Structure 1
Amino acid sequence: MGYLLLAGAIAVEVAATTAMKYSDGFSRLVPSLLTVLGYVVSFTLLAQTLRTVSIGTAYAIWAGVGTAAIAAIGIVFLGDGLTLAKAGGIALIIVGVVVLNLGGAH
């Protein structure tokens, strides 16, 4: 159940960060509200995750997968460029999360 909550926390955090892009520096009401609400929900889900998943593992996965997902959304939907360095960084994040989980993370 902990990892399901963590997946929800990541999904909501990614949605909130995407909404932040459209908030225009928090000058647009609806995207700003979605950003704030999304972060509250994401942190709540992350806090629930910590009941069964270690903090180091949960936070590393939450931050790493969220970062990789936002980078991919930026590239695919928002016109961010894809450089070799950016692709390598995303790959390293993914590999790091996999190694963390294979290495006996609890």
Structure 2
Amino acid sequence: MAKIVEPIDELRVLVKDLLAKCDTLERENKRLSELCAGYQLQLSEAKAQMEQEKQRAQAVVLAQSLVTVSGSAKVARARVNSLLRDIDRCISLVNR
């Protein structure tokens, strides 16, 4: 009978070890999932910021073209400010 009990005890120990490793891996998986979600949030924020910077760059290009066309920096600046306000309003509407 002792010959049967020994392998069963060994199996119990192995199963207990496997369950402990499983718990450890589940905790690690949860931590990594949360970390991944945080990185995805950072990425989406960076993409939004990059899009805003692209829009600002386009506004600068437009401003330079307006100065060239209108010949007056004051008129061009007023037009660019108007366009920037429109862009900011659109961005705030999108963010709602």
Is TM more than 0.5 here?
no
- With normalisation by structure 2, the TM-score equals 0.40
* Rg larger for: 2
Q: 1 or 2, which has the higher helix percentage?
A: 2
